[in-house]
Amino acid sequence: MSILPQIIFLLFFAATGYVLYKRVSFLKRNIQLGKAESRNDRSTERWQTMALVAFGQKKMFKRWIPALLHLLVYLGFIVINLEVAEFIIDGITGQHRIFAPLLGGAYTFAMNFFEFLAVGVLISCIIFLIRRNITKVPRLSMKELKGWPALDANLILVIEICLMMAILKMNAADQILASRGVEHYTQLGPLFFSSLLKPMLVGFSDSFLMFIERAAWWFHIVGILGFAIYVTYSKHLHIFLAFPNTWYSNLKPKGEMANMPEVTNEVNMMLGIPTEGNTEPPAEIGRFGAKDINDLSWVNIMNAYSCTECGRCTSECPANITGKKLSPRKVMMDVRDRAEEVGKSIDTGGKGLEDGKSLLGDYISQEEINACTSCNACVEACPVNIDPLSIILQMRRYIAMEESGSPAQWNAMFQNMETSFSPWKFSPSDRFNWAEKVKDEEMK
């Protein structure tokens, strides 16, 4: 038997591993462009969050129909890839269905279950294509999805449909060849779904059926390995990043805004309150807020790479609903695109972060972030616990504290809060006059 197919398989497998290593290294470096942030506290709660949100897809089930379809695709991706492990072993050893003689009837049961999931994935992907391209669900048809994002979503669905069809065709041809006693093919028990395709193939010769079976096998294994590379360039990177992203979720109450350590320490020193750590002022004053990705934390950038582009955040955003320019999904996509641009520039010897561009201004406008109400609806809606609000608030801080660029009405409110301890311009001693009026009304 020729070992050429094994050599080709090993070379392709090794090449895929190398490309993946380079791409993963690139993504890791891009994420590390962000500032350090510790998210290792409350580990038990973090494991629970990851189990419920990433594994259990808890937040997906706020919308039952897409959630059930997504669950089928998710389970299919995990379980069917167990069969890919057999493909890899077969490819390395030159065997065919190496586990079939070892597992007997259990193998037939497993194959029927895999085929059931394959059909479920196939049907779900067709429905997703209809939702995106025919019924045009509003959150899947917004302007930030024009071009590559729309093509990416459709491509991955078509690829999954082709991969599932390849499994069913391979199994159908395989079983016809086994029933004819062709060497190398193992007779299994009945496979329900692939047997539906057998009438279409039964009239072909052994050699042609072997071509179909081998072509489907190679298409599937090359497709899976190619998919592993493609995912790292796609929104479907969330398949892998959803797990660390949910583990590093912000566990603080949603309405709590993070204080800036530089400002907190400065205020404490002015008031004579002991500060933690070094009380000496820094040699170089850091930037207040965020203008570019290096001003964000690494968690913020990982959030951007974890974005599924599902648009649930934008569809729940009251600013977007009322026609404002703000789209939390676009904010996350812009952060990811800026990280990609800077990373590629660094790798090619370019200027990197010093290229004359910045996240704020060139990607995200002041009008967009000023429309945010800080309501946390986007954070609550995200199925993988992404936090667009954190990025928006940091950019607004930069505008307010570094550029004094907040709207005039905001500046007046800030001044009133500083001098009168309320957004309205009246004496602090009159703050509770409204309560007296309410009391008088109740007594009448």
Please determine, for residue 277, whether its predicted confidence score (pLDDT) is greater than 70: no
User: Is residue 256, in this structure, part of any structural domain at all?
Assistant: no
Question: Mean pLDDT of all residues in the chain?
Answer: 87
Assess whether 115 and 233 both reside in one domain. yes
User: Is residue 376, in this structure, part of any structural domain at all?
Assistant: yes
Please determine, for residue 404, whether its predicted confidence score (pLDDT) is greater than 60: yes
User: Is residue 80, in this structure, part of any structural domain at all?
Assistant: yes
Taking only the tens place, the pLDDT of each residue in 135-164 is 988 898 898 999 999 999 999 999 889 989
User: Do 339 and 301 touch, CB atoms closer than 8 A?
Assistant: yes
Assess whether 233 and 299 both reside in one domain. no
d(CA 76, CA 85): 14
What is the reported pLDDT for 158? Answer: 92
User: Do 124 and 116 touch, CB atoms closer than 8 A?
Assistant: no
Q: Could you tell me the residue range of the domain that residue 85 belongs to?
A: 4-31+63-247
Assess whether 346 and 416 both reside in one domain. yes
**Stretch 101-124: mean pLDDT, rounded?**
89
User: Is residue 323, in this structure, part of any structural domain at all?
Assistant: yes
d(CA 119, CA 194): 10
Assess whether 294 and 223 both reside in one domain. no
d(CA 71, CA 64): 10
User: Is residue 358, in this structure, part of any structural domain at all?
Assistant: yes
205: left (phi over 0), alpha (psi -120 to 50) or beta: beta
Tell me which amino acid residue 51 is: A
User: Do 336 and 305 touch, CB atoms closer than 8 A?
Assistant: yes
What is the reported pLDDT for 444? Answer: 64
Taking only the tens place, the pLDDT of each residue in 225-261 is 888 899 999 998 998 999 999 999 999 888 888 887 7
Assess whether 153 and 207 both reside in one domain. yes
DSSP H helix total and E strand total for the chain:
20, 0
Assess whether 27 and 117 both reside in one domain. yes
Residue 307, both tokens: 């974005």
pTM above 0.75, yes or no: yes
User: Do 216 and 162 touch, CB atoms closer than 8 A?
Assistant: no
**Stretch 200-219: mean pLDDT, rounded?**
90
User: Is residue 439, in this structure, part of any structural domain at all?
Assistant: no
Q: Which of 187, 217, 247 is the last residue of a domain?
A: 247
Q: With pLDDT > 90 as the criterion, what percentage of the chain qualifies?
A: 44
Higher-pLDDT residue of 62 and 130 is 130
CATH number at residue 350: 1.10.1060
Report how far apart the first and last C-alpha atoms of the chain are (Å, whole number). 101
Assess whether 19 and 160 both reside in one domain. yes
What is the reported pLDDT for 335? Answer: 96
User: Is residue 280, in this structure, part of any structural domain at all?
Assistant: no
Query: Of the ranges 135-139, 140-144, 264-268, 358-362, which is most confident?
Result: 358-362
Assess whether 329 and 425 both reside in one domain. yes
d(CA 261, CA 275): 10
Assess whether 344 and 197 both reside in one domain. no
Assess whether 235 and 310 both reside in one domain. no
Q: Which of 192, 222, 247 is the last residue of a domain?
A: 247
CATH number at residue 177: 1.20.950
Q: Which of 247, 275, 309 is the last residue of a domain?
A: 247
User: Is residue 278, in this structure, part of any structural domain at all?
Assistant: no
Taking only the tens place, the pLDDT of each residue in 18-75 is 999 999 999 999 999 999 888 888 899 999 999 999 988 889 888 888 888 888 888 8
Assess whether 243 and 319 both reside in one domain. no
Please determine, for residue 263, whether its predicted confidence score (pLDDT) is greater than 60: yes
User: Which of 75-84, 219-228, 324-333 shows the lowest mean pLDDT across its residues?
Assistant: 75-84
What's the domain count of the chain? Answer: 2
Q: How confident is the model at residue 280 (pLDDT cuts 50, 70, 90)?
A: low
Assess whether 111 and 222 both reside in one domain. yes
